[in-house]
Structure 1
Amino acid sequence: MQLDKTLRDAIASGALLLALSGAALAEPAFAADGLQNDTVFVRIENQEVAYRPSGEFLRDGHPIDPPLTKIRPERAFFIMKRQVTRGEYSACVSAGACRVLDEAGEAALPLVGVSYDDAIAYAAYLSETTGEAYRLPTDEEWAIAAGSRFQDDGLGVTTNSDNPAERWLASYDAEAARARKVEAEPRPIGSFGENEIGLLDVSGNIWEWTSTCFTRHRLDETGVASTHESCGVRIAEGEHRAYLTSFVRNPSAGACSVGIPPANLGIRLVREETGFFARIGRIFGF
């Protein structure tokens, strides 16, 4: 308690606040592969986005749109400005911590052809190698970071749910709109531009794994939900939400659980705040 009071006094004096500001501006780079040393993390704090929870929502056995809400991060977090590259992943392969990719490619290009399991292995390797704590974003965190590029997957069907044809037709129209040919070949970092908070290539032709499991929600007549989580299926985010089994590397081979498959599967990581500055943030709520 005395230490916490001392820290609060230091913040109030402005000295520690200056140190924290300097730490936020001086984002650490990592060079786990010796090729890339320019990785920048964007701090997500107060951003808000319109969001529908992921998974399937059922009322009286009929599928319905999830409720649309506004969400903000529960706690500030840092997310990679760009996606992990093939060269960075190669270092994990060389160290024996990650599986070899199925196809060769240029080291500087964004990584594609990885499963959820591969993504988890790479985050664990990077955490151990650098001493930082890296992980996949949750679906909510990804949506907040994507901002205006997050795609609402609601169908907007508000008529009688006892007529399944209406929802089926709306779903068909949505899938048909997504079925336009997406260029599958990975493109250089920055090819799809930057969103309003500084992230590159969000919702381009690479979908990004999240840590969120597929969940089925059943609503009773009062709107109270019961849920069942299936973590053998995870969510990948991009031009649209995709539900995929965790070991899938190539969704075009027919392994997409729902809807039009993603063109490519890649990784963008969140960095957790640890150590002294993380404790300061927890004490003061930032």
Structure 2
Amino acid sequence: MKLKAFGIFCLSFFMTTAMSSCDSDEITDQPGEVSGSGNPTLTVLAEQVAGSDGYDENGVTALNLPSSQDVSNIYSGLKLNFSLSGITRIELESVDGYALAGTTGIQWGDSGEALTGEVENANSILVFNAPDENGLTPGKDYSIFTLPCNLYGGYRLSIYREGLVAHYFGVHQTVEMGSFITPADLIESELEFDDPDAPLVEEERPELDATTTALLRQYQQNPTEENKQALLDQMGVRYDKVVARKKAKLRELEREALTLDVVEEMQEIVDEMVDNRDIRLEQQFLRLIDPRNDENPNDAWMVLRGASAPNAYIGYAPVTNAEYAAFKSDFTYEDGQDNYPVVNVTVEEATAYCDWLAQNDPTHSYRLPTDEEWILGAGHMPKDVLMNAGHVETGLTAVDAYSQTTGACGGIDFWGNCWEWTISTDAEGQYIIKGGSWDSERDDCRSEKSDVVRSGGQGYANVGFRVVRTDLI
């Protein structure tokens, strides 16, 4: 039997244990204290029905345990208590696909720790139903049995009420054997109930919650390392909740998508967010604490919050044909396309334009953005962004054609229309381009996508650029 020691295997960050002495009495009444000659096994059902004691007496069984073994040290799961009435069904999912239900073998190590084996009939989704149409009793404790499970990476709790459903995502918790967790920050008044047939949508730019706002204010008033870490920890929880939501969407696509490319696209998004978690959190932190206001809201320069360069601003839009023609007198373009992004320019030509701007402004320097600066300006691409991508247009459009969609800095045309040069390069010296173009798939337009490169010595019909302005020191 292949065994895992849950005392070692499971992370216990932020675990909320809900095992009171009353809980132990409840669970000891469950079947399981039986003797037998076979190997001990633990079975958790994937569908449970609430009983009069708040749990399903048939939801979990432990067979062939030593008669001296207290099953309160075996049974584990999730404890819930709602003030809302009319909740008829609860669905629990490990967004990482770990088994919540199924059958596993049990042994005890030399130190008395529980060891579990491979899970048969494993299921990462578990359903807990109310006993009748009236729903769960408000104010009553309910216990959903699960296998021991590492839920640090996230779990989805779907709460069904009056024909609608609300989704809560928990992170940084672990169900240890013999313990019950409760959702760390579930606030019933913040649950948003929707049609259960509506697609599960991943949040893109969630607003700051009250806790994050308070910690930000605390850091601004007293910028100590301790206060910084408290703010970063809270931001990490919120970031991981967004990741958990995307993982849940990925699991949904794996079950229901008709084509593999949709699953692969979501997997790429999840992988990028997980791999670059620390970078993204640092970017968000720098944005939050950047105290600058736009000195001139009517000019073409937007505050590049979080940038390490001195007083950095980024262009409101990509450089247009008309703007580039003011620099290069022999540059021509089609009539009526003054406000189209200039394309077919090399990195050297784009840099020459920046140098020309600097010649006329002795107080600032101008250059192409780095990959990270471009991401700071754009921010995360909204899921419902309107843009010129995926062949919705037959070519380039004016830079303000989709101006209703703005980036994190307030600028426009970050996604679609034309790719944009950066001064960042890959290992082969190719220049990273950002934002996608009119003929790109929407996934290629994502701000964080940094694996599309071009030769800087060549111009392309779908690659333009925007400019970063910094103070001269």
| Larger RCO (CA within 8 A; separation ≥ 6) | 1
Q: Whose helix proportion is higher, 1 or 2?
A: 1
- TM-score, structure 2 as length reference: 0.31
Query: Which of 1 and 2 has greater Rg?
Result: 2
